[in-house]
Amino acid sequence: MLDDMSSAAKRVAGWEDLLAMLEGERGEVVDGVLVVPPRPENEHQHVQGALTQLVGGPFQLEHGRGGPGGWWILAEVNVRLSSSRIVHPDLAGWRRERFPNPRGVRPIDVVPDWCCEIVSPHNASHDRVTKRRLYAEHGVPYYWLVDPEERTLEALVLDDGRWRELGAWTDGDCVPIAPFEAVTLDVGRLFFPLT
**CA nearest neighbour of 182 among 68, 94, 96:** 68
Decide if 92 contacts 55 (C-beta within 8 A).
Answer: no
Report yes or no on 137 lying in a domain: yes
Q: Range of 51's domain?
A: 40-190
Provide the 3-class DSSP secondary structure of residue 11: coil
Three-class secondary structure of residue 117 per DSSP: strand
Return the exposure string of 60-71: e unless at least 16 CB atoms fall within 10 Å of the residue's CB, then b. bbeeeeebeeeb
Structural domain total, the chain: 1
Classify residue 6: in a domain, yes or no.
no
Is residue 15 in a domain? no
CATH code, domain with 157: 3.90.1570.10
Chain-centroid distance of CA 155 in Å reads: 12
Q: Alpha carbon of 10 to those of 7, 13, 34, 58, 100: distances in Å?
A: 5, 9, 13, 46, 38
Whether residue 113 lies inside any domain: the answer is yes
Does 52 map to a domain?
yes
Would 29 be classed as within a structural domain? no
Beta-carbon count within 10 A of 186 CB? 14
8, part of any domain: no
Identify whether 165 is part of a domain.
Answer: yes
Residue type, 57: G
Beta bridge partners of 154: 145, 168
Q: What is the pLDDT along the chain (195 residues), one digit of tens a residue?
A: 444 444 445 678 988 888 888 777 788 889 988 888 877 789 999 999 999 999 999 998 766 566 789 999 999 999 999 999 999 999 999 999 999 999 999 999 999 999 999 998 888 999 999 999 999 999 999 999 999 999 999 999 999 999 999 999 999 999 999 999 999 999 999 999 987
Cis? peptide before 100, omega within 30° of 0: no
Query: What residues pair up with 168 in beta bridges, in sequence order?
Result: 154
Continuous segment of H or E residues that includes residue 149: none
